A and B are shown apart, each in its own frame.
Chain A
Amino acid sequence: MTAGRTGSVARAVAAFGVAILAWEVFARSGALPRAITPSTIEILGAVGHMARDGSLFIHVGYTLLRIGAGLAAAAVVGVPLGMLMGRSLRVERFVLPLVSVLNPIPSLAWVPVLILWFGLGNTASIALVFYAALFPLILNTWTGVRSVNGLWIRAAEAMGAGSGAVFRQVILPGALPFVIAGLRQAFARGWIAVVGGEMIAATSWGLGWVIFDSKEFLNADVMLGALAVIGLLGFGFERLVFGALERRTVERWGMVRTARA
């Protein structure tokens, strides 16, 4: 286990090393002007500068606040709605057509509408994340409820469980692998939405805003630094939040397997 974990860290470091090396070769090749292809050191310097003056943490804080609030609201609405759809044909028939129409609309296409409604700032960004995250949560939860093993329900009912107990004790944990998959997808789509949204709808703060604002001053190092921070934050969430959640629940219970090779 420990050896496997060390090995996977080593491989991840190697992968990043190769990617950084490739970037260095490209940046120094002169294919594009040096001013807009800063080296890794310059990018790190730009991030370091933002960290020292504290602005990096405010940007990150705003972005996380927006995605956190939007994702939480989407989970509060989407998970129960998906559950209801899985349990009631009437709810499914009512909600599914709406979801099918709204889901394919790219969340960024809503930005002008949301600015019109909420103005520039946090509310528009949070609403955007909510929209982007809602449908993966609804659809995955719905699928999760429908794929709960019927034998678990029958066994629970044979032991005297009523519909409430079946729902809490069987449907909820039984659907969890899909709910986690939905959260993952919702986070990824919310992350895309928040950064995109901040470019247009935010004022002064947020990682997306940093990228867009740097364009005005040709600060390629800041732009690429902000991109790297976005990537690393996403990586951190995947490993520390979703990965850990899975390892402690559905993997521990043998409901999902890890690849052996």
Chain B
Amino acid sequence: MPHIEISHVSYEYASAEGPVTALRDVSFGIDTSEFLCLVGRSGCGKTTLLNLVAGFLRPGAGEIRIAGQAVTGKGIDRGVVFQDFAQLFPWRTALRNVEFGLEVKRTPAAKRAETARRFLRLVDLERFADAYPHELSGGMQQRVAIARALAYNPSVLLMDEPFAALDALTRDDMQRLLVDVWRETRKTVLYVTHNVAEAVYLADRVIVLSPHPGTVKAELRIALPRPRDPLSLSFLECQRAILDHLGAR
């Protein structure tokens, strides 16, 4: 049984021109510890789908189950990382940002600081524990956000284009780091992106969504061994296959 099961999910939202169908009859599963990338053009509903899994939105039809339990709202079995650097709390240091989820769980202070420090080390930022977010670069802030989403030990990590606002070189570093973090923590990851190369670099499996309304267009397994070489022929072939499904060629 997959860790996350998305079954016949549809979602409509209201607009000035009447209701718009963002997602129609979307079904797929994500296995435990699998890294799944959701790829599609802007407006294909990929972020909407992530928000449904996160419990920020409720599906109009269909059902999402995590570990067999129907999703009815937000829950600490999931950690979320957003695209916007502003997701960190500016009045808390990097360490205290990472401690937030543990505070909510009422973890004792000593244990909390120790755990938060461990996760900052995991994203290679232990030296910046006492820095405030505005003192960190964009890439560092996103690493803090990843540590924060992992520190309270959710089984699922939901990531909504977390590296889209970073420069290309930093993004490459972040992708390498994320693969390391994922291998270390064995989380089930749902990662939304419109960047095909990023999806091929990161994912075990890629789901391509087509827009208006969002439906599953294709599903591709990326069988390349890690670490992956983005300049290898097999890597480029995977990219080409996805681009074909996106109608980009």
Contacts and interface: CB of A to CB of B under 8 A. Distances in A.
Interface in A152-171: 152, 154-161, 165, 169-170
Q: Interface residues of B toward A: which range?
A: 20 to 34
Given A154-B56, A253-B132, A160 B90 contact: no
B80 interface: yes
B76 interface: yes
A156 to B, nearest CB: 7
B86 A149 contact: yes
Given A253-B132, A254-B135, A159 B101 contact: yes
Given A158-B78, A158-B80, A159-B104, A176 B91 contact: yes
A254 B90 contact: yes
Contacts of A255: 90-91
B135 A157 contact: no
Chain A's interface size range is: 20 to 34
A173 interface: yes
A151 B162 CA distance: 14
B75 interface: yes
A161 B148 CA distance: 14
A252 interface: yes
Given A157-B74, A158-B54, A252 B101 contact: no
A71 B225 CA distance: 67
Contacts of B84: 151
B182 interface: no
B45 interface: no
Nearest to A166: B104
A152 B100 contact: no
B176 interface: no
Interface string A9-29: 000000000000000000000
Interface in B47-89: 54, 56, 74-76, 78-80, 82, 84, 86-87, 89
Contacts of B133: 254
A173 B82 CA distance: 21
A254 to B, nearest CB: 3
Given A170-B89, A173-B89, A160 B80 contact: no
A249 interface: yes
B221 interface: no
Given A149-B86, A151-B82, A160 B105 contact: yes
Residue with the highest number of chain A CB atoms closer than 10 Å, among B56, B74, B82: B74
Contact of A173 (B80, B87, B91, B152): B91
Contacts of A165: 104
A151 B84 CA distance: 8
Contacts of B100: 156, 159, 161, 169
B80 A155 contact: yes
A245 to B, nearest CB: 13
Interface in A63-103: none
B134 interface: yes
Contacts of A149: 86
B138 to A, nearest CB: 13
Contact of B76 (A160, A170, A173): A160
A158 B132 CA distance: 21
Nearest to B85: A151
Contacts of B103: 169
A154 B47 CA distance: 14
Contacts of B135: 254
B75 to A, nearest CB: 7
Interface string A128-167: 0000000000000000000001011011111111000100
Contacts of B91: 173-174, 176, 249, 253, 255
A170 B89 CA distance: 8
A174 B90 CA distance: 8
The 7 closest A-B pairs by CB, nearest first: A254-B134, A159-B101, A160-B76, A173-B91, A158-B80, A253-B90, A160-B104
25 contacts: A149-B86, A151-B84, A151-B86, A154-B56, A155-B80, A155-B82, A156-B100, A156-B104, A158-B54, A158-B56, A158-B74, A158-B79, A158-B149, A159-B76, A159-B100, A160-B101, A160-B105, A160-B152, A165-B104, A169-B89, A169-B103, A253-B91, A253-B134, A254-B134, A255-B90
Interface of B: 54, 56, 74-76, 78-80, 82, 84, 86-87, 89-91, 100-101, 103-105, 132-135, 148-149, 152
Given A154-B80, A156-B89, A173-B89, 5 more contacts: A169-B100, A252-B132, A253-B132, A254-B134, A255-B90
